[in-house]
Amino acid sequence: MQKNIAGTEVEVDAEGYLTDMNQWSGDIANAIAEELHISPLSEKHWAVINWLREQTANGVELNIRKVGASGVVDIKEFYQLFPGGPLKNASKIAGLHKPTSCL
């Protein structure tokens, strides 16, 4: 389905995740973060977002443990940065599919 995010028409699934990570932009990330009440995005948020996108582009299946072992953020800080489902919310903001490890 189509959704207008930050003035851009993008394709999203039923839960609002982008279906094509190439449609993503920083403006879209900021708009999604605002919808999720996770804003403004700090440098640490962007470090996590960029790491998630890089891992996904390299075919890595994401999960909480991998994020905690990333060296970018520990698990406690990950939960603080992206409350209410850190991997789900961070992935949505990063323009990625919903991780299979998330219910």
Alpha helices in 5-57, H assignment, sequence order = 26-35, 43-57
Q: What are phi and psi of 10, to 5 degrees?
A: -130, 160
Q: Of 102, 93, 101, 100, whose CA–CA distance to 21 is shortest?
A: 93
> CA-CA distance, 50 to 31, in Å (whole number)?
16
Active-site hit among 6, 12, 21, 102:
102
Q: Which residue has the tokens 């992206």?
A: 82
43 counts as catalytic: no
Bridge partners (DSSP) listed for residue 8: 5
Enzyme catalytic residues? 102
